[in-house]
Amino acid sequence: MNTKIKTYSSNRPWEIEHRHSRGVSYGGIFETCLTSPSDPDGTIIGKDDLYAQTVRCYEIILATMADAGYSADDLVRCDVWLLDTRTFETAAKAHRDMVPETVRPVLSFIGCSNFWHPDILVEVSVRAYK
């Protein structure tokens, strides 16, 4: 493995099973894969509650960023993947509530046809730089 790349896990079951990292850092950049709104045991939280699911995605991401020495102040990009892009305002409110007022990363709302679990309404990925 490239020693200039550091990997970080949130210890969700699928990270171990499918051999991937929640986030990686390299050259001052930190980025995550799509993050599901789950508890550590893999249970999807907030069924039918887009706001709660979006917040949970950010909680997982921000905790992983902290493990890597980054904070929300370092965010440069947030991609919010939605089953229904017409609900983007709810996800945007959760984003606003989780990201400091002084931080203005680029933000995209991207539609998709489904996620790996039927209760998931949203997944989030980010990039940070310091």
Structure tokens at 95: 């984003």
Q: Walk across the sheet containing 23-26 and list its strands.
A: 6-8, 23-26, 29-32, 122-129, 75-82, 106-111
**pLDDT tens digits for 91-115?**
999 999 999 999 999 999 999 999 9
Residue 79, number of CB atoms within 10 A of its CB: 17
Q: What is the pLDDT of residue 18?
A: 72
Are 72 and 103 within 8 A, CB to CB?
yes
Q: What is the pLDDT of residue 20?
A: 76
Residue 126, number of CB atoms within 10 A of its CB: 27
**pLDDT tens digits for 12-22?**
777 777 777 78
pLDDT above 70 covers a percentage of the chain that reads 98
Q: What is the pLDDT of residue 42?
A: 85
**pLDDT tens digits for 20-79?**
778 999 999 999 999 999 998 889 999 999 999 999 999 999 999 999 999 999 999 999
Residues in the chain: 130
